[in-house]
Chains A and B, each alone.
Chain A
């Protein structure tokens, strides 16, 4: 089973639509969760962290369900500029090695259509 799984899409939605992305993770000991955004042929950039109580940043809402090991991102009133790939990211600490690393999903591609 992959550590972080996402629906690859693409999601093609009209401007103004609401779209939701889901992500599941396999490591129950994961501690921190994020959404990164990656534009075509560009580097990933942090979009927002995901908190247990859920959090909102403008048109973007992120939610976490630890029991189900599930993360979501909701985009309201989508804009053309939201077209990108959205990467679900989990902090997967390796307690044995004392190592720390982020594990990235492969991403969900969103295309917002005029």
Chain B
């Protein structure tokens, strides 16, 4: 099974500043036959289900603001919020779907 880790556990960022979340998989999630990374990012606000933000490691889901971006390949990935807004306060999870899916432990983002 692929184990996902995230860092940091939590972070506080000033409004308008950049937030960066890291995700690491225990083995590569890059599928060589199509050169795609089977990695997604989700946002979850209190009392709500998760919302898909990014898939294939860097493709933004329709309707997601362009301040959210994903990068990385193989085993190391990053979610960046370029200019934090108040509505971005949430827990963010990475997920691999290369094999039976698994999620990272989550990173809580707050306003400083």
Say whether A associates with B. Answer: no
